[in-house]
Chain A
Amino acid sequence: AQSVTQLGSHVSVSEGALVLLRCNYSSSVPPYLFWYVQYPNQGLQLLLKYTTGATLVKGINGFEAEFKKSETSFHLTKPSAHMSDAAEYFCAVTTVNTGFQKLVFGTGTRLLVSP
Chain B
Amino acid sequence: EPEVTQTPSHQVTQMGQEVILRCVPISNHLYFYWYRQILGQKVEFLVSFYNNEISEKSEIFDDQFSVERPDGSNFTLKIRSTKLEDSAMYFCASSEARGGGNEQFFGPGTRLTVL
Interface residues of A (CB under 8 A from B): 32, 36, 41-46, 49, 51, 90, 92, 94-108
With known contacts A43-B4, A44-B91, A100-B55, A106–B99 Cβ distance under 8 A: no
A sample of 13 cross-chain residue pairs with beta-carbon separation below 8 angstroms, ordered by A number, consists of: A41-B9, A42-B108, A43-B3, A43-B107, A46-B103, A46-B105, A100-B31, A100-B48, A100-B56, A102-B48, A102-B56, A107-B42, A108-B43
B108 pairs with A100, CB closer than 8 A: no
Does B44 lie at the interface of the complex (its beta carbon under 8 Å from any beta carbon of A)? yes
Q: What are the 7 A-B residue pairs with the smallest beta carbon separation, nearest first?
A: A44-B106, A43-B106, A105-B43, A102-B45, A32-B100, A51-B101, A100-B48
A103 pairs with B48, CB closer than 8 A: no
Question: Closest Cβ of chain A: how far from B14's Cβ, in Å?
Answer: 25
Q: How far is the CA of A48 from the CA of B94 in the complex (A)?
A: 17
Q: How many A-B residue pairs have CB under 8 A?
A: 70
Does B13 lie at the interface of the complex (its beta carbon under 8 Å from any beta carbon of A)? no
Q: How far is the CA of A42 from the CA of B95 in the complex (A)?
A: 18
Number of interface residues of B (CB under 8 A): 33
Question: Closest Cβ of chain B: how far from A11's Cβ, in Å?
Answer: 17
Q: How far is the CA of A46 from the CA of B48 in the complex (A)?
A: 19
- For B41, the chain A residues whose CB sits under 8 A away are 107
Residue of B nearest to A104 (CB): B45
Most chain B Cβ neighbours within 10 Å, of A45, A51, A100: A100
Q: How far is the CA of A96 from the CA of B48 in the complex (A)?
A: 17
Question: Closest Cβ of chain A: how far from B53's Cβ, in Å?
Answer: 11
Residue of A nearest to B92 (CB): A43
Q: A97-B100, A99-B56 are in contact. List 4 more A-B contacts (CB 8 A).
A: A43-B4, A43-B108, A99-B98, A102-B45
Q: How far is the CA of A105 from the CA of B40 in the complex (A)?
A: 13
- For A102, the chain B residues whose CB sits under 8 A away are 33, 45, 48, 56, 58
Q: How far is the CA of A9 from the CA of B37 in the complex (A)?
A: 15
- For B109, the chain A residues whose CB sits under 8 A away are 43
B42 pairs with A43, CB closer than 8 A: no
Question: Closest Cβ of chain A: how far from B68's Cβ, in Å?
Answer: 17
